[in-house]
Amino acid sequence: MKKTDLIYEGKAKKVFNTDDENLCIVDYKDDATAFNGKKKGTISGKGVINNRVTNHLMKMLAEKGIPTQFVE
């Protein structure tokens, strides 16, 4: 699967369309802000941790029978 167009970018992530019209890819950023954006920086590995936490939460929801749109 390949990323195509960037469809959303926020403080914590970027969302891309893919060559599969039914799937998107979420890339989590290493960016960090504090004090309502007055302080900005980068935390190496933050995006990877955010991705793992999200994956874990989506799997927990699925195990409890709560539908999600998560595809690993």
Q: Which residue has the tokens 């959303």?
A: 8
The Cα–Cα gap between 4 and 42 comes to: 25
CA atoms within 13 A on the CB side of 25: 13
Question: How would you classify residue 65: left for phi > 0, otherwise alpha for psi between -120 and 50, otherwise beta?
Answer: left
Cβ–Cβ < 8 Å for 65, 59:
no
**Which domains can be identified in the chain, with CATH numbers?**
3-63 (3.30.200.20)
User: For the segment 1-48, what is each residue's pLDDT rounded down to a tens digit?
Assistant: 899 999 999 989 999 999 999 999 999 999 998 898 889 999 999 999
Mean pLDDT, rounded, for 36-61: 95
Q: What is the value of pTM for the model shown?
A: 0.81
